C-alpha cells in the first residue's frame, strides 16, 4: 500500500502533525478525532514512520471492533 493511501486512511480517524528535528528525524503525531488518545512515531525514514502510524491505527481499529 502506498504512503498516500495510508495517510488518507489515517486522516479519517486522526489529526496528524508532521515535524522534523535538527537531526533530520521525522516525528509524526496522531491525535484521535473520537477519543482522547495520542501517539507519536519518530524515524529518519518517512516510509517507516507512516508504516508504524498505519499499523497503530489498524491495531486500534481492531481493538475497538472486538469491544463491540
Q: What are the sequence ranges of the domains in the chain?
A: 3-63
Percent of the residues in the chain that have a pLDDT greater than 90, as a whole number: 82
The dihedral region occupied by 22, where left means phi > 0, alpha psi between -120 and 50, and beta the remainder, is alpha
- pTM score: 0.90
pLDDT for 19-65, tens place per residue? Answer: 999 999 999 999 999 888 899 999 999 999 999 999 999 999 998 88
The closest of 46, 3, 52, 2 to 60, measured between CA atoms, is 52
Mean pLDDT throughout 10-14? 96
Q: Which CATH architecture has domain 3-63?
A: 2-Layer Sandwich (3.30)
Amino acid at each position: 500500500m502506498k504512503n498516500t493511501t495510508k495517510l488518507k486512511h489515517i486522516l479519517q480517524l486522526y489529526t496528524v502533525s508532521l515535524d522534523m528535528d535538527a537531526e533530520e528525524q521525522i516525528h509524526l503525531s496522531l491525535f484521535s478525532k473520537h477519543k482522547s488518545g495520542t501517539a507519536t512515531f519518530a524515524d529518519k525514514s518517512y516510509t517507516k514512520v507512516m508504516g508504524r502510524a498505519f499499523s497503530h491505527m489498524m491495531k486500534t481499529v481492531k481493538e475497538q471492533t472486538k469491544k463491540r
